Structure 1
Amino acid sequence: MSTQDPAARAIALRSEAYRIADEILYPAAGEVDRSGVIPHSHWRALAEAGLFGIAAPPEAGGPGLEFPQVIEILEVLASGCLSTSFAWLQHHGVVISLSRSTNTALREELLDATVSGRLRAGVAFSGAVRTPPHMTARRVDGGWVLSGHSPFVSGWDIVDLFQISARDVDTDDVVATILPLTDLRNRVRVIPMQLSAANATSTVSLHVADLFVPDARVVTRVTREDFFANQTAGIRINGTLPFGLIRRCAALLDASALPHAARRLRERADAARSALDTAMGVSADALVAARADAAQLALDATSTLVAAHGGSSLIRGYASERLHREAAFILVAASRAEVKDLLLRRFSGLDDPGAG
């Protein structure tokens, strides 16, 4: 982006997000779903618009957006193409890690390139989330040895860098490392996944056996408590995905001459979004409940569209059919065990007062 004034830059980024979502991503979303491939032109458009750097602070070359401004951009792009936005979403976590890193050499090597989108990044942190962890790190001379697996890693063969997180076997600290994909190819084992939705994210299960990572590639090391505290923001950020689907469903209902249904979905989305924002300052339980509410609402929105479109919703490749699959994806992907447990109780009726 060439605009230097922060307010003008924020407006320009927002405008570009809407343009790209509606004019580039959504028109191609059906073909991306069918082919399982995100075109390089999507990444080029996002990079040229400056959208790879929206989470970076001004001192790192970022636009200095407020959190709600970032959230709006994430929602809008999720309404365009779930595969593209889901893979792109991971990138911002790496930008944040680099911008905060005390590893000056690594930050100087990678930060500018990730902020500009010249390098795309993904994350593999699910192995550090579980207790006991699936991915561990053992301290050795000059670095760390990683072992274990990360069960759901998106962006293989799409991104240039991966941030892999593991738990220190001695202290339980979380060690995050950044490695080029070219360095990982012959040193790890990946099991490709065929996903029912967002398959173009090129998602794999990543398996590591005694992978040595030098200290020079360690981006952060934080306590287990700090790591999980940071997951609060992650729940809110991942909560943008349901609202992206709701936005698209409402637009399609408008196009189907059903403005009352579209308006009601938008009203419900506004209330759910407000609840999610409020919950961030209340408690972890409130945030989990609000995130589950958003996921349920996305399922309601796509079910509304299925009912509106009737038999065509049963034909593979139609927008309503694809969006309904994507709503199921959002119920469990980019989520947390607590959210999924709550949804299980709600859908099964276990939370009903009369349930046994």
Structure 2
Amino acid sequence: MTTTTHPLVTEAHRLADDLLAPSAQRVDQDVVPRSHIEAVRRSGLLGVSAPGESGGAGAPDRVAREVAEILAGACCSTWFVQTQHHTPVRLLAKAEPGLAVRERLLRPLATGELLAGIAYAHVRSHPRVPVRATVERGGVRFDGTVPWYTGWGLNDLMLLAGVTDADEVVFAFADAREQPGLRASAPMRLVALTAARTVSLTLDGLWVPEESVALRTPREEFARVDVPRSTNTSPAVFGLGYAALDLLGAAPAERGAADALRARLDEVRERAYALADHPVPHEHVEERLALRTRAYELRRAATTAAVVAGGGRATSVDSPAQRIAREAVFLLIQGQTATVREAHLAALASV
């Protein structure tokens, strides 16, 4: 659903139509190829939210959301690899000018010269501490297990986080490769997005120098800031929903059902994005959760309708309908917190 004519939206459509969508079935059964990542790098999309003075596009959030929708709807595995990159970029863009790691990494990340992944979702596991951070020898030592790390073998860097004994979260950049103190598992086999090269990481004394530390923040402050991130609806939810409706509406007999679902999805999208742009990000949490849950329901209806309309063909691994339906299952738990899970289960129980 295009709502803006920003050049990066046009570029996202070009990339989706010419490369990502035509190869999505093959990628789903294999891995995201380096050629896809190189195409994303060249497109400028990795800098969509990065400041212009650092080589990025400095585009408004509505553009970043629409780019995400387009990429997710075309090839969710490729979207999932590149979407990790935008969190480190945003973190460095907000850091104090002069911070060593900001000066060293923001421009190469904003221009796509470097690709970064994230290894910090485990911080949401409080009171468990899967990764412990210890300040020592002019840097930080990390010990524990990162349960999920996406883009292994594709990313240049990772934004890693651990929690100190003082309940402080330390974020630091490290090379995304095996090295002393860091070992990766074999790639995980998942119901969908196996192609995104997700592994777990074992940290046994991984040492990162102080000049690679990007942020120190109390864990409670991290949890507070994380609320809008986790309760807002991911643009990928809408991207997959629209991709399913495009499949459904391609058949004249199913166009009425597709149009009806699209109108409902459009309404939720508009309301969800209005809240995402709200000047006070910690307000309206219950409404954000309700809209996120409603978006899940409509996306499920859209992907199910695409499978139903596809009939027996939709059971083939070559069917876009079943691929999108499996990707939708994956997004049910992507970025999930205890609060999101409880709200979603409560909504399902009331159906």
TM > 0.5: yes
1:91 corresponds to:
85
Superposition CA RMSD, Å: 2.0
2:288 corresponds to:
287
Structure 2 SS opposite 1:220? strand
Rounded Cα–Cα distance in structure 2 between residues aligned with 1:73 and 1:288: 23
CA shift in 2, pair 1:284/1:225, >3 Å = farther
Structure 1 SS opposite 2:162? strand
Rounded Cα–Cα distance in structure 1 between residues aligned with 2:321 and 2:88: 33
Q: Is 2:208 the partner of 1:213?
A: yes
Rounded Cα–Cα distance in structure 2 between residues aligned with 1:86 and 1:161: 16
2:38 corresponds to:
44
CA deviations on 1:49-82 (whole Å, 9 max, x unpaired) are: 2101011122322222111121111111111100
**How many residues are aligned here?**
339
* Amino acid aligned to 1:229: R
How does the TM-score come out when normalised to structure 2?
0.90
CA shift in 2, pair 1:10/1:110, >3 Å = farther
Contact 1:331–1:340, Cα closer than 8 Å, also in 2: no
Contact 2:51–2:57, Cα closer than 8 Å, also in 1: yes
CA shift in 2, pair 1:238/1:115, >3 Å = farther
Structure 2: 5+ residue stretches without partners: none
2:339 corresponds to:
338
Q: CA deviation at 1:216?
A: 1.3
Rounded Cα–Cα distance in structure 2 between residues aligned with 1:305 and 1:142: 56
Rounded Cα–Cα distance in structure 2 between residues aligned with 1:48 and 1:318: 30
1:246 corresponds to:
241
Rounded Cα–Cα distance in structure 2 between residues aligned with 1:18 and 1:306: 24
2:60 corresponds to:
66
* Amino acid aligned to 1:224: R
1:4 corresponds to:
none
* Amino acid aligned to 2:288: L
2:50 corresponds to:
56
Structure 2 SS opposite 1:159? coil
Rounded Cα–Cα distance in structure 1 between residues aligned with 2:60 and 2:84: 19
CA deviations on 1:200-250 (whole Å, 9 max, x unpaired) are: 111112221222222111011123233223324533676111111111112
2:327 corresponds to:
326
Contact 2:237–2:296, Cα closer than 8 Å, also in 1: yes
How does the TM-score come out when normalised to structure 1?
0.89
Contact 2:27–2:195, Cα closer than 8 Å, also in 1: yes
Rounded Cα–Cα distance in structure 1 between residues aligned with 2:179 and 2:304: 40
1:307 corresponds to:
308
2:131 corresponds to:
135
Structure 1: 5+ residue stretches without partners: 1-8
CA shift in 2, pair 1:238/1:156, >3 Å = farther
Rounded Cα–Cα distance in structure 1 between residues aligned with 2:231 and 2:41: 24
Rounded Cα–Cα distance in structure 2 between residues aligned with 1:69 and 1:113: 21
Runs of 4+ more than 6 Å apart? none
1:30 corresponds to:
25
